[in-house]
Amino acid sequence: MASTRVTCQACGLVLNDSPPDQLSNRPPCPRCGSTQRVFEIQVEEKIVATDHVRIAVSGSVGSYLTVPVDRLHKIQQILNRHGHEYWTDATSFSINNQPPVAIINLPPGSDVLAIERLIEQEP
């Protein structure tokens, strides 16, 4: 069993909000107007804390990186510097009160291994 709680990433207000795949018609936060969200997911199974970058490869729709929110800006700079295409979701996920992670989407055909290596080389 998993339960989720949605909060505003900007101000922390708890919201009854749409699921993460309904980004386009998401209303702004009533307190601060942000559409950035954190989905806090509580699960009973033990989940290993992730403090590093994960890459998931999912064929036709491209791949995505799961990165700690506090490293997102740095990783975007790396991708920009090397000319990689990507886009980020305005939603972060926090699992079992771990620090929230953000999603960086990569288009189909991205060289995910090269990108992973680039990111891991950075301090």
Query: Considering the complex, what minimum distance in angstroms separates the CB of residue 74 from Zn ion?
Result: 24
- Name the residue nearer to Zn ion (CB basis): 11 or 49: 11
Angstrom CA distances, 31 to 22, 25, 40, 46, 71, stand at 20, 18, 19, 34, 26
Q: Is 20 exposed, middle or buried (0-12, 13-18, 19+ CB in 10 A)?
A: middle
State the minimum distance, in angstroms, from the CB of residue 78 to Zn ion. Answer: 29
Secondary structure of residue 21 in the 3-state scheme: coil
User: Of the two residues 7 and 110, which places its CB atom closer to Zn ion in the complex?
Assistant: 7
CB contact set of 123 (below 8 Å; sequence gap of 6+): none
The residues of the shown chain that bind Zn ion, judged by CB under 5 A, are: 8, 10-11, 13, 29, 31-32, 34
- Measured from the CB atom, the residue of 32 and 57 that comes closer to Zn ion is 32
The least CB distance from residue 6 to Zn ion, in Å, is: 11
CB of 10 to Zn ion, least distance (A): 5
- Paired sense of beta strands 63-68 and 2-8, if any: unpaired
| Nearest residue (CB) to Zn ion, 11 versus 56 | 11
